[in-house]
């Protein structure tokens, strides 16, 4: 698959926004507010990464009319920067993907909390982004 930006439609904005909200909501089901921890830390982080990528796509579609397509997520970070979105937050989440998906050790509670706070930043930006015309 190409790593080129693709023009985004209002329908794609709404689809990516819906997925971001769905992934984030499912991640939160794993989080225990009382302990500040989660059963399945790796699963939480993977859901957060997917939510963050979908949120970034929606933000980019709304603000610059295009979004990242492909496996090179650095392009998504670049596009989010162009869109004036929280590119550092997306980069931070993407940096956690390999350990949570492929590592033999579970992410730490501190890493989980960083992922949660980082996801909140991206979701706040999404909630404050108007849909494209």
Contact status, residue 55 vs residue 80, Cβ threshold 8 Å: no
Cβ density class 20-43: b for 16+ within 10 Å, e for less: bbebbeebbebbeeeeeebeebbb
Average pLDDT of the residues in 6-12 = 95
Largest CA distance in the chain: 45
Q: Which CATH number fits domain 5-127: 3.90.550.10, 1.20.120.330, 1.10.3720.10, 3.40.50.1400?
A: 1.20.120.330
pLDDT bin (cut points 50, 70, 90) of residue 2 is: low
CA torsion, ordered 89, 64, 26, 106, to nearest 10 deg: -30
Average pLDDT of the residues in 111-127 = 97
Rounded CA-CA distance 98/132 in Å is 33
99 vs 21 pLDDT, higher one? 21
Digit-coded pLDDT (tens) for 71-101: 888 899 999 999 999 999 999 999 999 888 8
């Amino acid at each position: 698959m190409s790593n080129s930006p693709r023009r985004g439609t209002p329908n794609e904005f709404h689809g990516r926004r819906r997925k971001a909200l769905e992934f984030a909501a499912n991640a939160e089901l794993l989080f225990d507010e009382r302990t500040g921890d989660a059963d399945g830390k790796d699963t939480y982080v993977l859901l957060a990464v997917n939510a963050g990528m979908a949120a970034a796509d929606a933000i980019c579609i709304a603000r610059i009319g295009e979004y990242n397509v492909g496996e090179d997520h650095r392009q998504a970070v670049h596009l989010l920067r162009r869109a004036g979105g929280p590119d550092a937050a997306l980069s931070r989440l993407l940096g956690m993907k390999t350990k949570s998906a492929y590592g033999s050790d579970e992410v730490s509670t501190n890493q989980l909390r960083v992922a949660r706070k980082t996801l909140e930043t991206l979701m706040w930006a999404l909630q404050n982004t108007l849909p494209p015309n």
